[in-house]
Structure 1
Amino acid sequence: MDMLIKKLIDSFYANVLPISVFCLTVVASVLITTSAQATINCAGYLPNSYFERIDDDSKFAGKLIESADSSQQLEDLNGKVLLDNLTDAYILMNKYLLASKDTVSGKKYGVVTATGEVIVPFAYDDIVTEPDIYTSFIVSIDMPNGLIKQGIVDREGYWIYPAVNNAPQQRRIDNGYGNYRYAQPTQRLIEAVDVPLNLTAAAISHAHYDSDNDRDYFLIKSLVGAGKSAQVGLLNDQSNWVIAQQYDELQPLNACNGQPLYLQAISTKAFTSKMQRQTALLDQNASVIIPFAANQNIEVFNSRDSSTLFLRSDLIEGSTATGMTEDIKNDIVSAQIIDAKGKVILLSESAIVKLLYHQLYAYKQDGKFGLIDDRANMVLAPQFDSYRDEGNKVWVEKQGKMFDLATLIELD
């Protein structure tokens, strides 16, 4: 069972990073290089709305001092030692300090604030977070025989996953008119410092940061025993399953860009009389934008503004290719550009391929090639028998003659 779990974790990490967003595998501290390393890198993708919420003038309200023996200690601004015997210390976003510390269980990582308040206890072999965000921490410990257990702690130090609650308490609530006489039961989350080893055998990856609503989303694949398939779902930072654990894979297509998250879902459930590997496009609320179908690949065509467009490609029979068109175009039979409501914007009898170094795309209708821009607007109607992209120069064929595309339209 342990080897199965290790294989499932490796497989999950290989599939959760969307090719179309060029996401990178990163670790919060460059010194942490243990097992759980899969997350997105939002650096360079976050919209201005996120950075406008950050006070650029605020500095880390403490001092990180290195001792003669190369250990480190956290001091307040008056020089009082708050935490000592630290190693690998790393300041995050001028708010947190991620570091390792020797414990009775060996070298363990944790996270504290500038005042020494423990957010993530020093109990973990690895802590993964997102560059430029640091809104949550994926923690893990290495178990014997390659088993990895993980969990998620939010920026306030409370468990997101697995969710842990105290016994119900009575909380007074406003009746809408300033009257707090009424009460209702409520659950209070538990802090990680209270139950530090609240972990489970699961493969966890940060999937998306919604900067407008300041919310995190996570892909979680529960790891199970032999003979059972591991299913992945999407969890938000309120410990709510926004997409139930029922798919083989969920591939984020537009993480961190300030828009709702869209995902390509992959499942091998019986949609017809036999088991088939099928894909669909879902949003972060589990709404189906493009229905499940076999032999299709979905990627983002354009998400520069508030209206995201998707590129849906029909693949040759039996193909399971996923990713960007440039990498799988030999498997593509035809393609469509579809908006976020599922409306077909453009049909093509071949792969819709970007011209190298130009913000133009070639498509095919009625046996002829034409050009569109990155918003699917027609630039040249289908009229060419073929085209040849040489990078800095594009040739198009019409009535047996080759023309330099730059002589027909102005190229960037």
Structure 2
Amino acid sequence: MIKLFIKIFLVSFLFYSCNKVDSKNQPRTYIRIMGENSWGFNDEKGNSIIPLGKYKFLNPIDEKGMILAELGNKHGYIDINQKIIVPFEYDDIDLFNHELASVKKNGKYGFVNRKGKIVIPIQFDNNSDFTNSGLALVEKNNKFGFINQTGKEIISINYQNANEATFDSLITLNKKGKWAFFDYKGKQKTDFIYDEIFVTDISLKGENGSTFWRNGLILVRKNNQTAYLDKNLKEVIPFGKYDSGERFNQNRIAIVSKNHKYGIINEFGKEIVKPEYDTLEHPEEDYHESEIFEGKNKNYITLLDKSGNKIYDKIKDYRFDFSRLGKKIHRVYIIQNFKKQYGVVDAQGQIIIPFMYDVIQDFNGTANTVVELKGKSGIISSDNQILYPIDNDAIMTGKDLDYYIISKNDKAGIIGKNLKTILNFDYQDLSPCFYDNKNFFIAKQNNKYGVINRLGRIVIPFEYSEMSNWVEYGPGSNYHFVSKNNKNGLITKEGKTVIPVIYDSLFYIDNNKIILSKNGKYGVVNINNKSIIPLEYEKIYTDLAFAAKKEVDEFYVLKNGKYFIINNKNKIIKENISKEEVEKKFSYLN
């Protein structure tokens, strides 16, 4: 497939950048600035060098003192003094690569040099640039080929498709549905025999790019068979030896399969893991693919490290974690065996926590964690020393919390990660407030709820039979829904009453509206308790506005036994709604 080139302007989340440019041998620093739909440059003292309001976009100054710029709807290059180097006559222009920049004009592409001269005529159908091979992949009239930096066709533009790798001197071309290898001089290296030739994305010396062979071997396929070639295009692993194979990774090993079993080979064709697994893959870790391997056979899992060495076998389940072992933080795995016991092993497969616990919580890079055993909770260290007795009803903590909430014998208190007391066991229940989980807590005393701070000072008195912490899609995290004497209301996190605790029910519907009821009548108020729809309806239904900025402006209501639709100004917009229609539409609320 033809490579797509993307111009990177380095704009995301950056509103300015600094460049140093020599002027009469005196280095000066320039700061790129962004205004409303325009860009400019200031000097280090804040003086305007290129004022805002003229250029729609300015790239950072490159190593030759040139600035890619957009003026109106045209692109070119200027210097810091606004001298035009590449004229503003192009629909698009790329960064310089190998001292040439791709330009677009009237739907076609060509190349200019740093003096603004067109050195390769504007004639191609694709945007391209020059790779380490010294060639650029170009397209014309749905045919592909390669040119050098003078525009000479090294490989004629006469092929159905083409591909290249940024780190290699090899290129591939397709003719009549088959692929062949060529070198950067245009010499054909193989016949057109391959159905597929694979390129792999890798990182070399901190630079991201692609390769056919630098990660190990080249994966090729023909006639539904897989083989691997070395950089000289010799078969190291012949066609048919394996049923399938994957590309070599940066550790120079690859997954292969034989007779529906999966294993791992190295770049010399040696099986470092015999094909013995029903599946073998890289598991997901923190939203990316891990380097380790996960092998599965029937009901158990085997973990293999990035080199294919076995970490641990006969696993029911596991998860990734980090733990402080001594003075360093190490990769560890929290593993469950088939006796449903949890333990912890390090990256070398050494057991650091024996398989004896019912639950082990994550270390999250610390030296301690919470465990459960026979229905009781405690705290242990990474070398399995008991730091807090395993005789508590529950222990709650979190990755970003510096404390443990401990419940025991219907009492709750808080200790720090240093195991020193923060709040005594004077409460029936404690939970961190969503709006500040380090300093404020919903607490229960004498069967009533209130809010206290980390020092135990009462922020909201203990007077409510119920108190919400956070309601998903609710009116924001700075509020509490509360109940008192079987009535409901809304208060702020400071305890100020927003909606008096006098209503039979409260139901939040969007960022600014709450349906409430009293004495069998329903209405709607806003977050400031201003009436939107009066308390005069026997029932009110509406679709929930789960989108943060979406507001509900239509309500199904029942009054005097009849259903109709009103807007948020209490005006009827549709009458004669059947009971069946309403019940079907809002069946999820029942």
How high is the TM-score relative to the length of structure 1?
Answer: 0.50
**Greater Rg over alpha carbons, structure:** 2
The two structures have a TM-score, normalised by structure 2, of: 0.37
> Relative contact order (alpha carbons < 8 A, sep ≥ 6): 1 or 2 greater?
1
